[in-house]
A and B are shown apart, each in its own frame.
Chain A
Amino acid sequence: EIVLTQSPATLSLSPGERATLSCRATQSVSTFLAWSQQRPGQAPRLLIYDASKRATGIPPRFSGSGSGTDFTLTISSLEPEDFAVYYCHQRNNWPRLTFGGGTKVEIK
């Protein structure tokens, strides 16, 4: 099973700051890596797929990068609604899907 490790577990930032979230895989997932956002009490929402492509309706302040085993989600300038939990997930070895443990972005 491919294990995804997200870091840091919690990121404390202020609105307007840049957020950099990491996701590392135990083996290569090529670019079959996606990021989703989960606001409190809400269902997850897809942000990024194929490591770097923004999903429909996602603002350009969200960007993804990486390939192989190391991936990054960057939020260029945090808006109040961006304080949430972010999950990476992979499906390189479909049909074995796995999620990372999540990074919580909280208000400093």
Chain B
Amino acid sequence: QLLLQESGPGLVRPSETLSLTCTVSGDSISSNNYYWGWIRQPPGKGLEWIGSMHYGGSAYYNPSLRSRVTISADTSKNQFSLRLHSVTAADAAVYYCARDSIAVAAFDFWGQGTLVTVSS
């Protein structure tokens, strides 16, 4: 059974770095068939793609966030991570990690999400 589980601090101070990890079980992030991505959802609002990465090293980001985002993988732990620098209140959201299937060209499996609040 495929499971994706987000983890990380639920509270980040303004101007600091948001760091989240997605632990994948039931599949390998080293598969050529998938990218692995992050999507966020501000409270009461819609979904915003943050970025996706392939274990081989390629990563793609939303242009609006590119200057502040890094997504990377730790294949030994079957995890991938999100770092978002210089956060503001606008970055407060539920953050989801998801499997990004090349075959269906869509996010086909999502984690349950983790709420991140930005406050001093």
Chain A interface residues toward B at CB < 8 A: 1, 32, 34, 36, 42-46, 49-50, 53, 55, 87, 89, 91, 94-102
Contact = CB atoms under 8 A, between A and B. Distances in A.
B46 A46 contact: no
B33 interface: no
B21 interface: no
Which secondary structure characterizes the binding site on chain B?
Answer: strand
Given A95-B60, A96-B63, A44 B46 contact: no
A50 B105 contact: yes
Contact of A43 (B46, B49, B60, B96): B96
Contact of B104 (A43, A44, A49): A49
A91 B63 contact: no
A102 B108 contact: no
B32 interface: no
A91 B106 contact: yes
Given A43-B113, A95-B52, A87 B46 contact: yes
Nearest to A32: B105
A45 B110 contact: yes
B110 A49 contact: no
